[in-house]
Amino acid sequence: MSIQYKQLYLHQRPIGNTTDDDVRMRTVDVDELADGQLLIKNDYFSLDPAIRGWMSAEPNYMPPIGLGEVVRSSTVGTVVESKHSDFAVGDQVYGLNGWEEYSLSDGYFLTKVPTDNQFPLHYYLSVFGAVGLTAYFGITDTAELKAGDTLLMSAAAGAVGSLGGQLAKNMGCRVVGLAGTDDKCQWLKDELGFDAVINYKTESGNLEAAISAACPEGVDVYFDNVGGEILDAALLNLRDNARIVFCGSISTYNASEPVPGPYNYWQILAKSAVVKGFLVSAYFEQFEAGAAALAELLVEEKIDFKYEIIEGFDNTLSAFHKLFDGSNTGKLMLKV
């Protein structure tokens, strides 16, 4: 099978927001597969803040995307040709590939969609994919939450934050969210059942006090998706023996200069707190079980989630910018 398709590759490392000069489009050809390879026709690919970090040359939990390489991303699609013993033509799969119409894979970090799947395929990039599994394992395991704990969730209206907050509520925790618009705050409280929500933009300069008012007995677990000033305010509201789950730092991804702080890091010592870096890849062997657990919660209407799908390959970069201007709610994806 000979296939010609479009992909987006990293031409140069961005400074600040990613531009068309940084990420460019090209056409590539696949004429023949080697043994152990498979070809996937991508239906959707993911738009995540972490991708911006991978574009940088700074050390990360994954190697930086090399100049000239396709932009790394999660995808979901259908196997159209295979010389891999574990995958057959017609299998629907999700995993780590790239911003491209087709993906040539060796099967690394690739999982099959269950044959009895009853949900839309894009759910495997959202609630059943890396985003949902990040929330699931981060809350049910890494955070060491127990009933009665107070969880403070940053980026609470985002894909990880909104699911993670609901999972904590299901465990009997008190959940306080941080979001950037009144509409998002209203959604989290009225529809998802968060106990309290803070608009961190309107409370800028007074965030420490706002968190204190919403968490009068202090924070047992802070789930950090953003870093920066919000992390500093959270640090001043920790309870003794608090846990911080460090999942992301979106506030720094577009920084063009070294980022100071956190200024209040000394609170880790003062409160005998624990900071734990969390990568969902550590749970890869449990992905299928985690997705099944989330599917059960969804069927039982114990969780809800929002997503936004942008259509058209050519709209990838403009859609990606929505992650950093706060205009998206829930999981952001592109339909190829």
Nearest 10 degrees: CA dihedral of 73, 76, 79, 84? 50
pLDDT string in tens for the chain (336-residue length):
789 999 999 999 999 889 999 999 999 999 999 999 999 999 999 999 889 999 999 888 889 999 999 999 999 999 999 999 999 999 999 999 999 999 999 999 898 999 999 999 999 999 999 889 999 999 999 999 999 999 999 999 988 999 999 999 999 999 999 999 999 999 999 999 999 999 999 998 899 999 999 999 999 999 999 999 999 999 999 999 999 999 988 777 766 677 777 999 999 999 999 999 999 989 989 998 999 999 999 999 999 998 999 999 999 999 999 988 878 777 999 999
* Phi/psi at 203 (5° precision): -100, 10
Contact 142, 245 (CB under 8 A): yes
Name 332's Cβ contacts closer than 8 Å, sequence gap at least 6: 46, 47, 48, 159, 307, 308, 310, 319, 322, 323
Please compute Rg for the chain using Cα positions: 20
d(CA 103, CA 113): 16
Contact 201, 174 (CB under 8 A): no
Task: Give the other-Cβ count within 10 Å of 13's Cβ.
Answer: 14
Half-sphere exposure of 167 (CA within 13 A, CB side): 29
